[in-house]
Amino acid sequence: MLSRRDEILIGLGVMALAALFLWWLIPTYVAIPRRVPNRALAPSFWPNIIGWTMMLAGALLATRATLGPALPTGTADRVGPRGPEFLRLFGMAAIMLVTYLAIPVLGMVWVSMLTFLAILFLTGAKRLGWGVLVAVLLPLTLYFFFTKVAGVAIPQGQIVRLP
Amino acid sequence: MSLLESVAAGFALVMQWESLFFLATGVAVGVFAGAVPGMSATMAVALTLPFTFALPPIYGILLLLGVYKGGIFGGSIPAILIKTPGTPASSATALDGYPLAEQGKAGKALSMALYSSCIADFVSNIALIMFAGWLALFALNFGPPEFFTLIVFSLTIIAGVSGDSLLKGIVAATLGLMLATVGLDFIGGTERFTFGSVEMRGGLNFIAVLIGLFALPEIISYVRNPRERDASVRGLGHASLTRAEFRGSLKSIFRGSAIGVFMGSIPGIGAAPSAFLSYSEARRSSPNRDNFGKGEIEGVAAAEAGNNGVAGATLIPLLSLGIPGDVITAIIIGAFMIHGLTPGPLLFENHADLVYAIFIGLIASSFLLLIIGSVAIRAFRYIADVPTNLLFPAVLVLCIFGVYAINNSIFDVLVMMAMGLIGYIMLVLRFPAAPFLIAFILGPLLENTFRQSLLMSGGSLEIFLRGPITVIFWCLTVASLYFIIRSTIAAARIRRQARQGSETAPEQKD
């Protein structure tokens, strides 16, 4: 269970997301034809209903958290990461971003090996020998499965190409 | 094609060694994944999905169904041996299974779990075969208004998969509906939320979304807190299940199977309530009711029968109406989509051989589960030793290759990663992921059938009440909402009383 403060913030956050959707994303990024025979047939009709439903649910979440009983002190779960947790999460986000950006350059197999090893180091894994073995063998196995069996062209990158 | 011809064609499709091989592989993968602490049947089905697209439809679908069936049973192994249920429904199995393991009777509990799982699974498959065709025939009369009202009713299943907070379930569902609107508009062909990107015109790839949502949050959670799991594994012991114990539990097994079939055929209820209801019914009617919770073998049988009785029945709405009964069947829709098949009444018309092949394959899966499950019970000690520090990076690599392979698109890998981050935030903030996925699947159907209906009627809303079928679905929706609101209020009251009780207890101590 989360604390009352967190639940109120979640409700308000949902309302802010709904507002963003209703008053910025829909008007800017939904192309509406000039002549629509019926309002319900307009491409913005469903997004508007969804946005308003989300707004209402967010308001109810915030209201319920405000009016409901608070949790006993010290029993609420912690939401935000602290210290090393934050660093590891930040590291994971960086690994994912670099993985995506590096695939066209290095190829999926080599990037997967590096990603595997990066997560091993990030989490302070103990069995490094096994880790390196799996990091090398798994992407190679998947590469041969997808290219030779499934006929999928796995991105090779621009540096070292596999057969 | 007549019924007999369809059955014969289906039989010919299944009775090839490749079909049985993929089915057996699926069951083995499912049992393994269900048994590994930290993995789940849902994650296993999601990760297997990309590997099915290179296969002919029948092999791919049988592989996934095998993973599903195996995963549900596999979850009971850690529930009994280390009190760590692999699936939420296995929590009921742990109530008596773990005490039995503590008494050195884990082998007995696991054997009973396996036998009751296989029997319930078999009963559930028979129910699927009996009712799915009939329901599909009935659904052939449906037009867009009937489908619209059916989907509105089906969206109430979100309540069943919302967990503790219905409101959070609704928010998650609106988020799923929101993302489902990305792409070209169905009627006008205009762009919605594509941000000028050509890749987003076709909408977000379903497989990328579901893998991101169900596999990546677990990996991110592990990275945030990579402590080794320290659950101790109990030995199997030397006590084996006797014939008298098995016979004594048969009534509970069949009752649990019936409960599972009934609850599984209603979208959204899922295996966990079925397992607990079956368990409580067994306890209520058993002469050994005082022993329940302390290591009663009948309790294990009832819980597992309720859990596995759902497995075939959840496919009834999926195959006959195209409505996923729970989150795993929502993922299985992906397998049909990959092969250009749409579950629903027309599947029975156009691909009857495939449907009957699936039915026969499911029956075969019950027997394969019996064989593979027996081996898995003995091998669990090794399965439990799979190091999580290798497992989770390996899952990430599998996700990257699998998602890319669906459309040869690196953009899909980006979608998966973005969904992983969204899924992790939802996990931390206690938003359930299942409503998101179900809404993401049903959203386009809901919108399209609504707009098709309005085009048919020239804009008149009366079309949504045009016949008895639409009226029945509206009545079911209202009834479902009434029960949801009533049970939500009752649950909130119980939680409030429990909280007040825990607050007053320390004061009394003082």
Dihedral class, residue B202 (left if φ above 0, else alpha if ψ from -120 to 50, else beta): alpha
Q: Please say if the pLDDT value at position A161 is more than 80.
A: no
Can you say how many angstroms the Cα of residue A86 is from the centroid of all Cα atoms in its chain? 16
DSSP A147: I
Which residues, other chains included, contact A27 with Cβ-Cβ below 8 Å and sequence gap of 6+? none
Phi/psi region, residue B183 (left: phi>0; alpha: psi -120 to 50; beta: rest), is left
CA distance readout (Å), B214 to B141, B158, B310, B336, B437: 36, 17, 21, 19, 10
Contacts of A150 in chain B (CB under 8 A): 51, 53-54, 405
Q: Is B86 part of a structural domain of the chain?
A: yes
A21, A49: one domain: yes
Asked, for residue A72, whether it belongs to a domain, the answer is: no
How far is it, in rounded angstroms, from Cα B457 to Cα B434? Answer: 34
**Same-domain pairing of A57 and A88:** no
Is B508 among the domain residues?
no
Average pLDDT over residues B302-313: 89
pLDDT at B194 over 50: yes
Q: Based on the domain organization, do A45 and A95 belong to the same domain? A: no
* Residues of chain A positioned with their CB less than 8 A from the CB of B193: 25, 29-30, 47
Give the chain A residue nearest B503 (alpha carbons). Answer: A72
Whether residue B180 lies inside any domain: the answer is yes
Dihedral-angle region of residue B37 (phi above 0 means left; psi in -120 to 50 means alpha; beta otherwise): beta
Residue B278 has pLDDT above 60, yes or no: yes
Instruction: State residue B420's pLDDT score.
Output: 93
Which residue, among B192, B407, B455, would best test binding to A if mutated, counting the most A CBs under 10 Å from its CB?
Answer: B192
Contact list in B for residue A104 (CB cut-off 8 A) is: 410
Gyration radius of chain A's alpha carbons: 24
> Between residues 57 and 76 of chain B, which touch chain A (CB distance below 8 Å)?
none
Please check whether residues A14 and A50 belong to one and the same domain: yes
pLDDT in tens, A39-72: 778 889 999 999 999 999 999 999 988 887 777 6
Q: Comparing A51-65, B302-316, B374-388, which segment has the lowest mean pLDDT?
A: B374-388
Q: What is the phi/psi pair of residue A128, to 5°?
A: -70, -35
Residue B8 contacts by C-beta under 8 Å, 6 or more apart in sequence? none
- A105 and A139, same structural domain? yes
* Domain count within chain A: 2
Give how far Cα B143 sits from Cα of B132, B310, B349, Å: 19, 29, 16
B56-60, B79-83, B231-235, B287-291: which has the minimum mean pLDDT?
B231-235
DSSP string, B286-351: -TTGGGTTSS-HHHHHHHHHHHHHHHHHTHHHHHHHS--SSHHHHHHHHHHHHTT---SHHHHHH-
Q: Which of B225, B401, B500 sits opposite A146 (nearest CB)?
A: B401
Containing domain of residue B305, as a range? 3-225+243-494
Highest mean pLDDT among A7-11, B73-77, B103-107, B201-205: A7-11
A144 contact partners, CB below 8 Å, separation of at least 6:
none
Domain count, chain B: 1
Q: How far apart are CA B442 and CA B151, in angstroms?
A: 7
Give the total residue count for chain A: 163
> Are A63 and A92 in the same domain?
no
Q: How far is B459 from chain A (nearest CA, A)?
A: 6
Q: Does the residue B123 lie in any domain?
A: yes
Same domain, A131 and A102: yes
Task: Give dist(CA B480, CA B147) in Å, integer.
Answer: 17
Domain boundary residue, one of A36, A67, A98: A67
Q: Please indicate whether residue B167 or residue A127 has the higher confidence score (pLDDT).
A: B167
CA angle B368, B369, B372 (to 5 degrees): 85
> Closest Cα of chain B to A82: distance in Å?
10
* pLDDT the model gives residue B509: 46
The reply to whether A107 and A142 lie within a common domain is yes
A58 close contact with B: CB closer than 8 A = yes
Task: Give the pLDDT score at A107.
Answer: 92
| B184: enclosing H helix or E strand | strand B183-184
Mean model confidence pLDDT for chain B:
84
Continuous H helices in B322-467: 327-338, 345-350, 352-384, 388-407, 410-428, 433-457
Q: How confident is the model at residue B485 (pLDDT cuts 50, 70, 90)?
A: confident
Most confident of B161-170, B253-262, B387-396, B437-446: B253-262
* Contacts across the A-B interface (CB distance below 8 Å): 184
Q: Which amino acid makes up residue B289?
A: R
Assign B510 a pLDDT band (cuts: 50, 70, 90). very low
Residue B234 within any structural domain of the chain? no
Q: Which residues of A touch B187 (CB under 8 A)?
A: 41, 43
Of all residues in chain B, what percent carry a pLDDT higher than 90? Answer: 18
Say yes or no for a CB contact (<8 Å) between B503 and A72. Answer: yes
Contact yes or no for B408/B207 (Cβ under 8 A): no
- pLDDT given for residue A49 in this prediction: 93
- Cα–Cα distance measured from residue B273 to residue B386, given in angstroms and rounded to the nearest whole number: 30
pLDDT tens profile A74-122 = 667 777 778 888 899 999 999 999 999 999 999 999 999 999 999 999 9
* Contact across the interface for A41 and B455, Cβ inside 8 Å: yes
Among the listed residues B261, B299, B237, B195, the one whose alpha carbon sits nearest the alpha carbon of residue B81: B237
A8 and B CB contact within 8 Å = no
Nearest to B275 by CA among B436, B42, B75: B75
Residues B220-252: pLDDT tens digits?
A: 988 988 875 555 556 666 667 788 888 988 999
Domain carrying residue A24: 4-67
Q: Which of B192, B219, B450 lies nearest to residue A43, judging by beta carbons?
A: B192
pLDDT at residue B305, as a whole number: 92
Is residue A15 one of the residues assigned to a domain? yes
Give φ, ψ of B191 to 5 degrees. Answer: -85, 140
The answer to whether A43 faces chain B, any CB pair under 8 Å, is: yes
Query: What ipTM describes this predicted complex?
Result: 0.93
